[in-house]
A and B are shown apart, each in its own frame.
Chain A
């Protein structure tokens, strides 16, 4: 799998931590591999919305990748509940069901972005960078910043 410039947290230069929420074990494994190619760290996994809420409380992951169609509690409701408790939560919906109503509903409930499956790693990488904004730096930029500081 293609490797991307590692994304690090701006605050401590540690790998970005991800929570992956999908009822498909296969999809979770696939996203975990993609996260690895971004130099990220898997903070937790969940197979339904209820578990996702508990896992977010436990991990406070930097990014949540959330499916929509799941048993027990769907992704949009889980996103709403997480954001209600944690307004800073950065949730990206990742679903094959990409119609406009779903996207609008997810964004209205607090999701930051939407990516349609099948996931294109290069697209998801750009979306994650956009959602993290100033909260993340690439490893190359972090190194350049450190060198500049050392040279002062």
Chain B
């Protein structure tokens, strides 16, 4: 998986998490994942189809999810499983939406599907042409794991029709 696909997701996650958690965020671990995905806490999955296809999983520790929920709501909220699921789905939506905005401006065309819950403990392994990259974003508010498995479906139109 090329950095041109990954970097927009890193930038978007960094920007959105820093803003919603109101603290600094850093990637503390990054690895290629060949095994089936192992869920850490509350997870949401977003599928992408078009010039690039694959999926991104957002996996957020419960305490971190509540901090994000409270920050987005502008008020301290009580822990609640449904609220955490909704928060993680919205966080995934925010990060992926911002990332695909950058990718679209770079010439890629695709469709982003609405986030769905990822309730299974395991699932979705990477493959030779769809490697999964796992990033652990750490902050004083806790960890957020982003698992990105994308591949080129078609080259960009500009690459297909060089002038």
Q: A residues engaging B (CB < 8 A)? A: 1-2, 23-27, 29-30, 33, 69-71, 95-102, 116-118
What is the interface of chain B mostly: helix, strand, loop, or mixed? helix
Known contacts A69-B112, A69-B114; A24/B90 CB under 8 A: yes
Q: How far apart sit A116 and B100, CA to CA, in the bound complex (Å)?
A: 13
Q: Is B138 an interface residue (CB 8 A)?
A: no
Structural contact, B74 and A23, CB atoms closer than 8 A? no
Q: Is B38 an interface residue (CB 8 A)?
A: no
Structural contact, A95 and B90, CB atoms closer than 8 A? no
Structural contact, A25 and B86, CB atoms closer than 8 A? yes
Minimal Cβ-Cβ distance residue in A for B86: A26
Using Cβ atoms and an 8 Å threshold, which residues of chain B touch A118?
16, 19-20, 72, 94
Q: Is B97 an interface residue (CB 8 A)?
A: yes
Known contacts A69-B97, A96-B98, A99-B101; A27/B74 CB under 8 A: no
Q: How far apart sit A97 and B98, CA to CA, in the bound complex (Å)?
A: 6
- Within 8 Å by CB of A70, from B20, B75, B114, lies B114
Structural contact, A24 and B101, CB atoms closer than 8 A? no
Structural contact, A30 and B72, CB atoms closer than 8 A? yes
Structural contact, A69 and B93, CB atoms closer than 8 A? yes
What is the interface of chain A mostly: helix, strand, loop, or mixed? loop
Structural contact, A97 and B100, CB atoms closer than 8 A? yes
Using Cβ atoms and an 8 Å threshold, which residues of chain B touch A30?
72-73, 90
Interface string of B74-95 (1 = CB under 8 A from A): 1100000001001101100111
Known contacts A117-B94, A118-B19; A26/B112 CB under 8 A: no
Q: List 20 A-B contacts (CB under 8 A).
A: A1-B73, A2-B74, A23-B114, A24-B89, A24-B90, A25-B86, A26-B69, A26-B72, A26-B83, A26-B87, A29-B73, A30-B72, A30-B90, A70-B114, A96-B93, A96-B95, A98-B101, A117-B94, A118-B19, A118-B94
Using Cβ atoms and an 8 Å threshold, which residues of chain A touch B90?
24, 26-27, 30
Q: Is B96 an interface residue (CB 8 A)?
A: yes
Q: In the assembled complex, how far is the CB of residue B112 from the closest CB belonging to chain A, in whole angstroms?
A: 6
Q: How far apart sit A29 and B86, CA to CA, in the bound complex (Å)?
A: 10
Interface string of B14-27 (1 = CB under 8 A from A): 00100110000000
Q: How far apart sit A71 and B112, CA to CA, in the bound complex (Å)?
A: 11
Q: How far apart sit A18 and B93, CA to CA, in the bound complex (Å)?
A: 23
- Within 8 Å by CB of B96, from A71, A96, A101, lies A96
Q: How far apart sit A116 and B73, CA to CA, in the bound complex (Å)?
A: 17
- Within 8 Å by CB of A24, from B73, B75, B86, lies B86
Q: Is B113 an interface residue (CB 8 A)?
A: yes
Which 8 A-B residue pairings sit nearest by Cβ, starting from the closest?
A96-B97, A1-B74, A26-B86, A99-B104, A97-B97, A99-B101, A26-B90, A98-B101
Minimal Cβ-Cβ distance residue in B for A120: B19
Using Cβ atoms and an 8 Å threshold, which residues of chain B touch A100?
104-105
Structural contact, A96 and B94, CB atoms closer than 8 A? yes
Using Cβ atoms and an 8 Å threshold, which residues of chain A touch B20?
118
